[in-house]
Structures are given as structure tokens and as C-alpha cells.
Structure 1
Amino acid sequence: MRRRILFGEHATQAPAIARFIDRTRFEPSFADLAHADFAPFDLVVPLSIAQIEAARAANDDGRRRAVLPTPELVALCDDKLACNQWLIAHGFAAHVPALLGPEPDSYPYIRKSRHGDFGAGCIMVPDAAAAAALEPIDAHSFHQRAVAGADEYVLHLLRIDGEIRFRLCYRYDMGTPLAVRGGGARAKATVPADAALALPLCSAILDVMAYEGTCCFNYKLEGGRVQLLEINPRFGGSLVGEVSAYLQAHFAALDPIAP
């Protein structure tokens, strides 16, 4: 019997999931989760941060259809400045590029929006001339040391009942050392990568958070050390190609005796 999966609507991820999912095992549907009837489905997967709160209702009848981080952890990870400050306060400062003041005098640095996906609101500042052209910073943004390097990594993780149940790592080749990956700068290549350096760190962070559900860590390597760029408390776009393995890991954790 095929498992029925309800995904949230998403302009790019939904069509990709529909293309890659193994339909011999899974029957996908896509809907506005705020108005969905969850009863017919075996699993509910939000595809954006905005959909997570609505997805919580999938468990209201006592059946565990969605594994989701707490509202407090969603808010923490969604605020990039607050998340960096949390990491520093909880012993992970060595893996956080230095936070800078409102008028940094060392370059390169990046001005980051506290909220937003896919590079929105992020500006790379390579030198004093570029800094002089910027508007004064406001409370919605912050400055952070830029980590140079053309390679950026993403580690997708699923944690259920305190254990990592699924992991998938990719390396993005950005082509230039100071690119801001997002709408204006896309990877030249995306290839599978070894998560060995980052997995112990990322697992330790999730342990301290007591995080449950899906997330992805974006990071670079500097001198062999992981430098965290952000933690996204959601399904990441580059996970779509392995969505069937991700779903199977869900069911293996939630219903281990099922075939």
C-alpha cells in the first residue's frame, strides 16, 4: 500500500517533488496547509517556515503525522542574529563567523537580513568603497565577518525522538569566493559531499536545542573548521532529489514495524 503524503504548496519545490518522488511507494498531494484536511494522510511535510504552524494541526487527533520543531526553535533559527547569539552562548562560538558592529572597518563582511530565505537581504561588502555606498544599518539587519571560499555546503538532517534518522550533504560550487548564494548568484554545480566534518557539530547543536524535525545547516570550511552560515528549520530545496529516502526515514522512525 502506498503511503499518502501531504506537502505544503511551493512554487518550485512542489513540482520538483512531484517529479522525483517514488510513486510505487508514495502518493503525494500538495495543498494550502492552513485549510487542509489531514485525516486521509500518513505524513504531512511543510515546505516553508510559514507553513510549519499550520502543520501542527495534523497531530491534533492523536496520530503523529508531522514531526516539527517547537515554535520557539522555529523563531530562533529564523532570526539569523538571534541564532548566532544562541550558538555563541551555548559553546559553539568557534564555528560562528565574528559578529561585527554597525560600522565595521575590516573587510570583507556581509550585511545580513535577520529574516529571509535564499539570500534575500544579504549584501557582500568587499571593501571600504562598497561600505560607503550602503545605507545606514537598521534593526532588521546585522554585520558578520564574511567567510571566503567558492565552496558552500548544506547538510540536511531529520531528527526524530532524539536521533538523526536521515542526512544528506551537498557542496555548492559558487565559482567565486565571496558569492551570496541566492536569487542573484546560483551554484555553478551541486554535488554530493561528505558530511563527516560537519555532522558531529550539527548533531551536537540539535542535541542542545532538543530539536525535532527537519532542518538544514549551511556552512563553509575554513582551515578545516566548519563555519556556520545559517540554520534553516525547514525542508531545504536541494533535498527534493532524495525526497523518497527522506520520507522512508520518517516512516522507519514513526512506524518501525510496518513493512
Structure 2
Amino acid sequence: MSPLIPALQRTDARLRKAAFLLSSRWEVRRRGTPDAWRILFSPKPGWKDALRKGFAGSPHTLSFAPLEGQALADADLVVPLDIEPLLGLRRQSQALWADNPLPLPSAESVLLCDDKQHFYRHLEQAGFTHAMPRIAEAGVLALPFIVKRRHDVMGQHCHVVRDEADLRRYAPLFADPDYFCQALVRGEEEFATHLLFRGGRVEHALNIRYRFADDTPVKGKTPASWAPVAARHLALFGDMLSALGFEGLCCVNYKEEGGAPKVFEINPHFGGSLCPYFFTFVRHLQG
């Protein structure tokens, strides 16, 4: 790939992000002045600035604190930014969160999605094999393939097995029950679709496209440019979430193969690339 292409992709991404932010803010204003909400986010290092940037100029008040005590009681909207605060909130009295405008997924569905191998097997049994990369033993999958940890964040324990040297290098992981092997979906583009799923339907969506310099990247470890693009495959994703018994905010990670999606995982919580644009979800929650 020419070194000029990544630079052009980064420029394109910056322009797309700026245009999307402007058009989203215009749409919020067009729909009328929203109610001023006190929004409580759980603490998450490095996310505060991006969230505040998105809400710049809005009437909302943002705070970042543990989801408990007076801070929780005073909030109009409570937003867990990760699995632990989400599950911690669910363990508290239902009276504290039952009326939250953002529905909370069940603990069972969160834990199901968080275990990437269990997630795959559950959806396999529900008839979605065609929409996911195959899982199999290392000796069955063609090179290159992926070995990944069942519980992981940002692909930090995900490895591309490219050749015989990698087969020897990662052999201990093939026998480790905390890891599994999955077919590699080639492609220089990957997508993260943030969804608000409630009452059996997708109520709002934001799709982020990541562009890489090669076709065997590991998202989270490989540098990429990213920007919002039109959301796709929402009916399929909704069917998957129904099969998982999930309701609330999530992020579907996938690539396309011949135009068809191949879903790697559904993160059962707020995703990082949603931060600058979450204000559009809040406006949607207000009707």
C-alpha cells in the first residue's frame, strides 16, 4: 500500500467525524431544546474529555462517580461505562435503577456476551453460524487464523497465527481453556455498531468504520483511522440480541465478507468510539 493512502484515510476520517458531529448537533437542535438532565457516568480513565466534547453546548450536566449513594439518587440518567459498574448497579436495589431511561441488560446476558466462546456457541445453537467466523481446533483451521482469549478487552490477548513458526509459538494457548481459535476474516475495514436495543427492536444506532493498512489487523492493537458511516445489518443484529436475551446499550464488532457480516463479538456495554456521539442517544431517550 502506498504511504499516501493511510494519510488520505486519516484526512477522510477527520472530515467525516467533523461533518457527523455538526449534522448530529443540528438534528438535536431541530427537534427542540432537550430537557436538562443530570447524567451520571461511572469513572473510566481517558473517556471523560471525549464525552464532554460531545455534550458541548447542551443543557445537560455531566458527572463521573461511582454509581451509588447520593450521586446515583440525584441523577436523571445513569450510564455504566463498563461491565463491573453495570453489574454492580444491578446488584443494588431495583428501585434505584428500574426507572433509568437507559435500560440495563440482565446480568446473565452480560456474562454470556463477555465470554466470547460461550457467546459464539449460544448463537451457533440459535442458527447464526452463517453470520460468524468459524470456531475450531488449531489443526482444523486454515492458516492464517486467530487465537483469542475468551475474556478480553481491545484485542490485547488476540493473536494472528500466520505460519508454522506461529503454530509453534502459540501452541500453549491452543491447549489453554481460556483461549480458543477462530477463522480469520480478511479485510482492511472493520465495523463497530453501537446499538440501543429495547423492547425487541433497535431504537437507535451509530456505526463506526475502522480502516487499517493491511487485511489481517487486530483491532485495538493495530493502528487505524475511524469515522461514523451509515449503519447496516440492523435486523440481523436485533435478531442476535433477542436470541441472547439482551436489552440495553451494546456494540457489535464485525467485518464483511462478500457484503455479508461476520460478527466477532457483541460487547454488552458502552463502547469507547461512542463517547463523542452519545449525546444523540440521550436526545433519543428523551423522545
* Aligned: 1:49 with 2:74: no
Separation (CA, whole Å) in 1 of partners of 2:141 and 2:107: 37
Q: Deviations over 1:4-45 (max 9, x none)?
A: 100010112222112221453311100122566311111100
Paired position in structure 2 for 1:185: 222
Separation (CA, whole Å) in 1 of partners of 2:98 and 2:151: 32
Q: Which stretch shows the higher mean deviation, 35-44 or 146-155? A: 35-44
Please state whether the residue corresponding to 2:73 is helix, strand or coil.
coil
Across the aligned residues of Structure 1 and Structure 2, the Cα RMSD in angstroms comes to 1.8
Q: Deviations over 1:109-164 (max 9, x none)?
A: 10010001111210111122211122412010000001000100111100123332
Please state whether the residue corresponding to 1:99 is helix, strand or coil.
coil
Paired position in structure 1 for 2:280: 245
Consecutive unaligned residues in structure 1, runs of 5 or more: 253-259
Q: CA distance change for structure 1 residues 58 and 8 in 2, over 3 Å: closer, same or farther? A: farther
* Aligned: 1:175 with 2:213: yes
Post-superposition offset of 1:250: 2.2
Separation (CA, whole Å) in 1 of partners of 2:234 and 2:149: 26
Paired position in structure 2 for 1:5: 39
Paired position in structure 2 for 1:256: none
Which structure has the highest strand share of the two?
1
Please state whether the residue corresponding to 1:100 is helix, strand or coil.
coil
Moved over 3 A (4+): 34-37, 102-105
Q: Percent identity?
A: 33
Q: How many residues align?
A: 249
Separation (CA, whole Å) in 2 of partners of 1:58 and 1:42: 17
* Aligned: 1:122 with 2:158: yes
Match for 2:204: what amino acid? Answer: F
Paired position in structure 2 for 1:255: none
TM-score between the two structures when normalised by the length of structure 2: 0.81
Consecutive unaligned residues in structure 2, runs of 5 or more: 1-34
* Aligned: 1:217 with 2:255: no
Paired position in structure 1 for 2:62: 28
Asked whether the equivalents of residues 96 and 227 of structure 1 are also in contact (C-alpha less than 8 Å), the reply is: yes
Q: CA distance change for structure 1 residues 62 and 49 in 2, over 3 Å: closer, same or farther? A: closer
Separation (CA, whole Å) in 1 of partners of 2:132 and 2:197: 22
Q: CA distance change for structure 1 residues 105 and 208 in 2, over 3 Å: closer, same or farther? A: closer
Q: CA distance change for structure 1 residues 136 and 249 in 2, over 3 Å: closer, same or farther? A: same
Match for 1:53: what amino acid? Answer: L
Separation (CA, whole Å) in 2 of partners of 1:61 and 1:88: 36
Separation (CA, whole Å) in 2 of partners of 1:2 and 1:115: 38
